[in-house]
Amino acid sequence: MHILVAGFQHETNTFAPSKAGYENFIRGEGFPAMVRGADMLALREVNIPAGGFINAVMAEGHTVQTVIWAGASPSAHVTQDAYERIAGEILDAVRAGGHDAVYLDLHGAMVTEHLDDGEGELLARVRDIVGPDVPVVASLDLHANVTARMLEMADGLVAFRTYPHVDMADTGVQAARLLLARLQAGTQWKRSERRLPFLIPINGMCTMLQPSQGVYEMLGRLEQTPGVASISFAPGFPAADFPECGPVVWAYGTDAAAVEQVTETLYARVLALEPEWSPDFLAPADAVRRAQTLAADASRPVVIADTQDNPGAGGDANTTGMLRALVQADAQNAALGLFYDPDAVRQATSAGVGATVKLSLGGQSGVAGDAAFEGEFVVEMLSPGKLRFDGPMMNGMDVDLGAVATLRIGGVRVVASAGKAQMLDRNLFRVGGVQPEEMGILVVKSSVHFRADFQPIAHEVLVAKAPGPMQADPADLPWTRLAPGMRVRPLGRPFAAN
């Protein structure tokens, strides 16, 4: 076969402060930078779904037509301009024909300025061009808000099974297997799906912890049922204000009864575990005090997740609650990163290494309780901000942060960057001269992805709720458009439109 391959990824927090324009997709912002044509083949070496898919189908003797891969850091809505330009490139290639199947590397939680369901719209446009007989498959993030239109327009959708997402390339391989099995079957799959009636906090979805770990183990066992080709569970991205936000279970196979049964079984298990999906959080000062106590007798760092400023979920990595708590507690041998503040990096660069500069960090979030942090910092290191990820997430990907300045105030180091990226790899500290293994306390602007590379070196992991744009508890968000009756958190109040 000759298979058209393209990727278009964005996780949209409709409550976030900044949108994703075309330039954000060009840069990638923690994802691979935008690539086209043959340059996409370099993604075979990166832990992303498109790379896994390409490797899998080429190993079976098939060929690929690589079109475009574009991703941007989670944020508020994708602009209409960015969506139509990138989708337009994909659709132009689909119209040109010459392919036997289409594979799309999607996220599943894209909301644009003009569309609630960016992926469903793209799949529908592709389907309109290729007709009912050309197979169309896609891989999805575990945080996909899977819509009825997405399921209807694709022959197969496969979601990640790990969070942190260490199985992204593996999910591309699974999509390839589902496509090839679909062609071998010679007919459309039987499909079944169930939508859960409550939103799940993203911290509760971590597959290194229960209950998520056990649910995915059960999914793997159910998938061995005869007549079942694939099962997916997407807990969803609980910060997108539209009616189909929320968790979904779905399955494909040749035996309709078996597909229905495994879907119902997994759905019932997730529903029965509803009380267990809500994690515990600490206030910033409490998290720092706890970390100081633990670090006093620890040989490894205590890691604190600044979860509500996670740039991987719509934050801008520039809130100051955790920095303020560290300084007020006179924390020693502590580091925080990445802190996105291009102006501070420029001022530090102008002052030079060793200089003491008065800076006002952050203060742009607009979130209640998040004010700028003003203080005198020593410029400890300046770096061009170029690195390669070595950890399990995005392994092998080159990153350009624009520039990095490491700023010290008392016993606290802040790794500030001119480019925005979630702290999901230890090299994001090392690029600023901070050796994470040698620190007593590490504050990471991340929710869960950091665990892939940091949990192995952590004495303990704490999760803090400092003021930020990504509410860790979805019940704290000002919902207006959820499906009526959807519980805004596990065991929470049902949504009712005003």
Q: Which amino acid is at 4?
A: L
Tokens coding 325: 């708590």
pLDDT-above-90 percentage for the chain: 92
Token pair listed for 305: 């997740």
Q: What percent of the chain has pLDDT over 70?
A: 100
Span 352-373, average pLDDT:
95
pLDDT top residue among 185 and 342: 342
User: What does the alpha-carbon distance between residue 65 and residue 5 come to, in Å, rounded to a whole number?
Assistant: 6
| Residue pLDDT, tens place only, 326-348 | 999 999 999 999 999 999 999 99
Record the pTM: 0.92
> pLDDT: is 185 or 286 the higher one?
286
Least Cα distance to 107 among 129, 80, 83 occurs for 83
- For domain 2-276, give the CATH number: 3.40.50.2300
Q: Domain residues of the chain, as ranges?
A: 2-276, 284-472
CB 31 within 8 A of CB 141: no
**Residue 123 confidence (pLDDT) above 90:** yes
Averaged pLDDT for residues 165-185? 94
What is the C-alpha to C-alpha distance for residues 19 and 7, in angstroms, rounded to an integer?
Answer: 19
Quick one: pLDDT at residue 301?
98
Name the pLDDT band for 442 (thresholds 50, 70, 90): very high
- As a whole number, mean pLDDT of residues 25-32 equals 89
Task: For 292, list phi and psi in degrees, rounded to 5.
Answer: -65, -40
* 216-270 residue pLDDT tens: 999 999 999 999 999 999 999 999 999 999 999 999 999 999 999 999 999 999 9
Q: Which amino acid is at 182?
A: R
d(CA 486, CA 496): 8
Give the pLDDT confidence score for residue 186 in this predicted structure: 79
Across the range 266-289, mean pLDDT stands at 97
Looking at every residue in the chain, the average pLDDT score rounds to 96
The predicted pLDDT at position 126 comes to 98
CA dist 73 and 423 (Å) reads 12
Q: What is the mean pLDDT of residues 28-54?
A: 94
Query: Residue 31: what pLDDT?
Result: 87
275 phi, psi to nearest 5 deg: -65, -20
Round to whole Å and give the CA distance between 86 and 107: 14
Q: Is the pLDDT of residue 396 over 90?
A: no
Average pLDDT over residues 161-172: 97
Choose between 364 and 58: higher pLDDT.
Answer: 58
Residue 179 has pLDDT above 90, yes or no: yes
Q: Which residues pair with 387 in a beta bridge?
A: 399
Instruction: Write down the pLDDT at residue 321.
Output: 98
